[in-house]
Each structure stands twice: as structure tokens, then as C-alpha cells.
Structure 1
Amino acid sequence: MGQTIQIEKANSLKEKPDVSNIKFGTVFTDYMFSSHYTPEHGWETPTITPYKNLELSPALQSIHYGQSVFEGLKAYKSGDDILLFRPEENFKRLNRSLERLSMPKINEEDAIKALKELLQLEKDWVPDGPGQSLYIRPFVFADEPFLGVRPSRTYRFLIILSPVAGYSGAALDPTSIYVEDEYVRAVRGGIGNAKAAGNYAASLLAQQKANNLGYEQVLWLDGVHQEYIEEVGSMNIFFVRNGEIVTPELNGSILEGITRKSIIELAEYKGYTVKEERVHIDDFLKGVQDGSISEVFGAGTAAVISPIGRMNIHDTDYIINDNQPGDVAKDLYDHYTEIQYGRLEDPFGWVQKA
């Protein structure tokens, strides 16, 4: 890109919704950003237009062969300011995903500038209720109409925005987890550490199975042995063992979560001992049974931190910490979100104004 962004103004603006009453990802703002890639010109025609449907070919390569990646981050209201939390990390990860799927990288600095320009136009859409934010979805997909199996020649990069309430209102409500030991999501050497659309398609059957059994989310085991803990469908997983915070080590099939990375840095800053380990499900189960594991929680963009109060492991239900948020989860959540909303000092330089 590196070009001046053209802005097409809407003839009329939408009525702003009551964010507390809308479902995640169902309401979108007035505008969106888009850019198009060709081999001859690279990323070009950066444009902010009214939010609208796309006209696409039925032979679109992303539909048939899955060249589609995305990111998720949020904007927060702080007085008159709009704040972003580590957006550079999201666009770095977007480029890693693009590289893995043989797609052209974007210019990260240009992408952040485009996002900030879009947010300035949409600043009235950033809600200021407890736990509320504006969800940001950048995504890139192949748009060449061609049925041959090869990387597409052309692509589109878009950013759309959606106001969201807190994941569980503004409270830390514990969730329930089903440990999946039949299906697998990813293997090392595959695309498990890319934020690719196909990863999420691969998770849906097990997610439906868990929901039918009365659980909200799935905890995946490794794709080779199905014995080692990896991640929850929309979160990385942490647990407190003998007072220390433990999370599965990155292994090539676990998504490198930005919230995961930030929680580790914040926890170490606050004096906690954090360990990244290969965690066998039976060792984890033993810790739950003997009480050495006192808390379990997930970490991701949507929830920030989500305590896990009930787990099904090997077809047996276990209650964690009386199905209540633990002290460590609450401590990290409070500190983390206060930084995000600009209410506490940011010693890391994570937060920037839009």
C-alpha cells in the first residue's frame, strides 16, 4: 500500500445499537477498509467505503481451496481517546499466517495507519459500557476465479468493525470445557499456528459435540499422540499448579496468542513464576484430583481471561476451584483490563491511541 487512502462517504449513518443487547459479531459499523493485491502492482487501491456486501465469483479460490486468514483485536474507549492494545502484534501474526498459506504479506505499518484512519471515522461506534469494546476483524482472502490447485494470483485485504459487550457481561463467569480425545485440530508442520479459516472449520464438529454434552468449549490434545494439552478453541490455556502459572509450550500446532504472550509478561512483571511446558493430560488430571492444580483459565482476545470451573476429562466431570474464579485469574484480569482501558499505567508500552 503506502498510498493515500480514498474515502467514500456514506449517504446516511446507521442508528447506534444498545451494545449490551447485541450478540457478538452480528452488528457492523458504517464503514470498512479494503485493498486489493495483484502480482503487477502489489497491494493497491486502499479505500474506506460504506460497509457493504461483496460481489464475488463462484470460482473464488478461497472458497474452494481455503486461502483465507484473519485476525481479531479490539479498540477501547478511554475518555475522549480510542485505544488499541498491541495492534502491531496482530499484524505481525497476520503476516506469519499469510506466509504459511503462500499468500502475499501486507505492510504492517500501513495496515495500522489504515486501521487508525478507519477508527477515527468510526469513533462514535466505540462503546464505553463496562467490558464493552469495538471488535476489529482484519482478514485476507484469495479472490482469483480459478479452479486450478495453486496459490491465487489476486487477493483482498479488508477490515470490518463490530461493537461488542463484555464476553460474559463485565464479570468473570467460569466456563465449562470438554477435553476432546477423538478428533484433532492440528499437527506440527500443519497450519495449527496460523490463524487460518480452515483451523476453525476443523474444530466445529467437536465443538458441536461438546455443546450437545453440556460444555461450552473444547480443549484440544496434540494431533499425534492425543495425550498432551494444547489449547481451547478460542483461547490458550493456563493453570495454577502449586502457586506457579503453567501453560503448554508452543510447538508449531498451538496458536501464538497475543493475549497468551501478554499474560505471561504481565504475570512475570507482577512476580509470578510462569512455566511453559509440555503437559500430559494424565499429569494434569492428577493435579486436579490431588488439588495441586488450584485454578484453570483460558486467555484470548474475546474474553481476555475466562476461568474454567468444570472440565470433562476422560468422560468424568471435575469441578475446579468450586466453579469460582480463582485469585490469580482475577488479579491478572483486573490488571490487564485496567491497562487496556487506560485506567492503569502501562509499563510495557502496549497501548497506543488510534
Structure 2
Amino acid sequence: MNALMNDIEVIKTKHSKINEVDFDHLSFGKTFSDHMLECDYKDGKWQAPKVVPYAPITLDPSAKIFHYGQSIFEGMKAYKDGDNNILLFRPLDNFKRLNISAKRLAIPELPEAYFMEGLKALLKVDSDWIPKNEGSSLYIRPFIFATGKGFHASPADEYKFVIATAPSGSYFAGELKVLIEEKYSRSANGGVGFAKAGGNYAGQFYPTQLAIEKGYQQVIWTDDNTHEYIEEAGAMNIFIRINDTLITGPTSDRILDGITRKSIIELTEKEGIPVEVRKITVSEVVEAAKNGSLKEMFGAGTAAVISPISGFGYKNEDFDLPKLENTYADALKKRITDIQTNKVEDPFGWRYKVI
């Protein structure tokens, strides 16, 4: 297999778009690189992947992605350091999580070499698309969806694996004001909340839009049963600092095992910041806000890395967080991004050098 993967077919575009891009003013995920990786599953196995020009995908109207939602994805970033090395951050964790999602949605699992060697081949072809500006990166979107045809409610017999990339700036600008959700749920026990399934995000849009109409930017999700426990912040894991202790909920059927989340936990443990992985109630957070012990809240995920929360709403009452000079959010974000961009040593072995 390795011999095959080291000889991935590359079909280069005849018309690069790179000179049309303003790399000093990149929005997030709206500009796309010249090429993508493509690989089909048919006849009971994954076929050889290849790098092709970025282009629309044509599907039959009966393709099962449209009817039964078999679709999963990952989010990653590539960076360049001062020596033009191409770097990834914990890519094998993304690969493993993609297959966890695949298994839950009855999608054939992908061989590791197809993911890793295919990604490396794509990044080598589009290396000039990786921004070097502070705060920018090449966002990487691996995804798998059902292409098999038919209206019968059953898993498809054909799938497509794609990796597309987008040079991107910051995901969020500034701090977030969030609304703690009292009615809607992101996921439920026994469901697919732990998977990166497209439907998870589609189900978030309506409650989030309701929150936006009330003047908030995002929703803090609570448990589906009682709505008493804090679970996630928008499409991110959430961390809450009470006094000097950082708290985040345990992963479960409902909560995504975020790679940035895991990195923050490992960093805080190494650097002596008290961290607790436990359930945290809405009432505990509200009480901490009232008595002044609530110091910080922030979301954590690949796209934004860390997004500070400036305040939250709950039961028609708003709570502002204090303005601190030295925050855990700022320190942890700098530590992670410095590791990602090779500005500091990486004692964890997270950084992965492509070339």
C-alpha cells in the first residue's frame, strides 16, 4: 500500500487562481485552493486517491447524501514556519475521529495511508496557498458523503472522500456574547453528537438564529434531558474558569472529543493550571457570575482555536464577564498557536512536519 500511496496521481490545474487572492485580507473558508484530493468507494473497497483541480462535484438526484444524510467531516489546519516547512497539528487524531464518525454513520472506514499520504500529496501541490501571515492558516476540510443511488432507506453502496482546502483568516472577530439554551438540544444520549456528522450542525442553525435575533452571537448548549448542564458552545467545546480552576464537561455520546479541547487539558496539566473534567450546572455558572468567582468562559475548536466569551444570557438576564489583563484564554491560545507554527518547542509531539 505504501508504494501505491507514494505514487498518488496528480492532475494539476491549467489555470491557477492564486494571483487573484489577497492573502492580507482573508475571510474564513470562502477562498479555495487550486486542487483537492478525491477518492471513491465502490465495488466494496476504496479506490486509489488522486489530486485533481478544485471543481464542482456532479451527483445523481437519487444520491443518498440528499435523502439520508450520510455525511461526515473533519477540520484541520496547515501552517508554514519561518523556514517554509509545512506543519500540521495532531493529524492522526483527526484521522481516527473521522473513522469514529464513519463507523457511527455506517460509512466504510478509510485506510490511514489514504488519509495521511493523500493529504500530504495535496499540501505539496498547493504549498503556495498556505498563508504565512500572523493569525492565518490553510484550513483543511476532509469529508466523506454517500454517492450511491436509490430512494431505499439504507446505507449507500458508494461514497466519496474529498479533502478541500481554503486559505483563511480568523474564524471569529473579537469576543462572543452567548445565550444559554433552555429548550433546544444539540444532541441526545445514544445519538451522534460525538461524531462530526453534517446533520449535527444543520440542527444547530435554527436555535442559533433565534439567539442572533436576540442580540447574541452563539448558543451554549445544555443537556437534552434537563437543560441543567453546560455541554458545548456553538460548534466548539466550552471551558469555564471559576476562580483559578478551569472546568470542562466530560466527553459523552453528546459531546465531541475535540482535539483543541484535549490539547488544552494536557497543556493546563503540564503548566500547573488547575483543571477539572466534570459536569457543570447552569446554576453553578450563574451563581459564580453573581458572586464574582466566574473569571472566564471560552470556546475551543480547530477553526477558532480559542474564542473568549464576554458575557452570557439566561432566563432573560444578562451577565458580563470581568475584563482581565492576563487570561487563561490568551495564554493558552498563544501556547497552542506557537506550537502549531514552530515558534516554540513541542514537548507533546503534536506538531507534524509534512515537508
Q: 2:273 maps to what in 1? A: 272
Structure 1 residue identity aligned to 2:46: W
Structure 1 residue identity aligned to 2:100: R
Q: Which of 37, 40, 61 is matched with 1:36 structurally?
A: 40
- Identity of matched residues, %: 42
How far off its partner does 1:206 sit? 0.7
Q: Which of 97, 112, 115 is matched with 1:111 structurally?
A: 115
Q: 1:70 maps to what in 2? A: 73
Contact 1:295 1:326 in 2 (8 A): no
1:260 to 1:325, Cα distance in 2 relative to 1, 3 A: farther
Q: 1:182 maps to what in 2? A: 183
Q: 2:338 maps to what in 1? A: 338
Q: 1:126 maps to what in 2? A: 130
Partner SS for 1:181: coil
Partner SS for 2:306: strand
Question: C-alpha distance in 1, partners of 2:334/2:272?
Answer: 16
Contact 2:28 2:170 in 1 (8 A): no
The answer to whether the aligner puts 1:348 opposite 2:352 as a matched pair is: no
Contact 2:74 2:141 in 1 (8 A): yes
RMSD (Å), alpha carbons: 1.4
How far off its partner does 1:9 sit? 1.6
Structure 2 residue identity aligned to 1:342: N
Q: 1:218 maps to what in 2? A: 219
How far off its partner does 1:325 sit? 7.0
Contact 1:71 1:137 in 2 (8 A): yes
Partner SS for 2:15: coil
Question: C-alpha distance in 1, partners of 2:236/2:172?
Answer: 15
How far off its partner does 1:168 sit? 4.4
Normalising to structure 2: TM-score of the pair?
0.95
Q: Which of 80, 84, 88 is matched with 1:84 structurally?
A: 88
What aligned pairs does 1:94-109 form with structure 2 within 5 A after superposition? Answer: 94-109=98-113
Question: C-alpha distance in 2, partners of 1:201/1:21?
Answer: 28
Q: 1:55 maps to what in 2? A: 58
Question: C-alpha distance in 2, partners of 1:76/1:9?
Answer: 22
Contact 2:75 2:142 in 1 (8 A): yes
Partner SS for 2:80: strand
How far off its partner does 1:243 sit? 0.8
1:70-100 per-residue CA deviation (whole Å, 9 max, x = no partner) reads: 0000001102111100010011000000000
How far off its partner does 1:38 sit? 1.6
Contact 2:72 2:102 in 1 (8 A): yes
Structure 1 residue identity aligned to 2:51: I
1:86-117 per-residue CA deviation (whole Å, 9 max, x = no partner) reads: 01001100000000001100012331111011
Question: C-alpha distance in 2, partners of 1:30/1:121?
Answer: 9
Contact 1:176 1:308 in 2 (8 A): yes
How far off its partner does 1:252 sit? 1.4
Normalising to structure 1: TM-score of the pair?
0.95
Structure 2 residue identity aligned to 1:45: A
Structure 1 residue identity aligned to 2:330: K
How far off its partner does 1:193 sit? 0.6
Contact 1:309 1:325 in 2 (8 A): no
Structure 1 segments unaligned to the other structure (5+ residues): none
Question: After alignment, is 223-232 or 191-200 more displaced?
Answer: 223-232
Question: After alignment, is 147-156 or 4-13 more displaced?
Answer: 4-13
Q: 1:137 maps to what in 2? A: 141
Question: C-alpha distance in 1, partners of 2:151/2:352?
Answer: 43
What aligned pairs does 1:162-177 form with structure 2 within 5 A after superposition? Answer: 162-168=166-172, 173-177=174-178
How far off its partner does 1:176 sit? 1.0
How far off its partner does 1:278 sit? 1.0
Contact 1:219 1:231 in 2 (8 A): yes
How far off its partner does 1:326 sit? 5.2
Question: C-alpha distance in 2, partners of 1:178/1:50?
Answer: 42
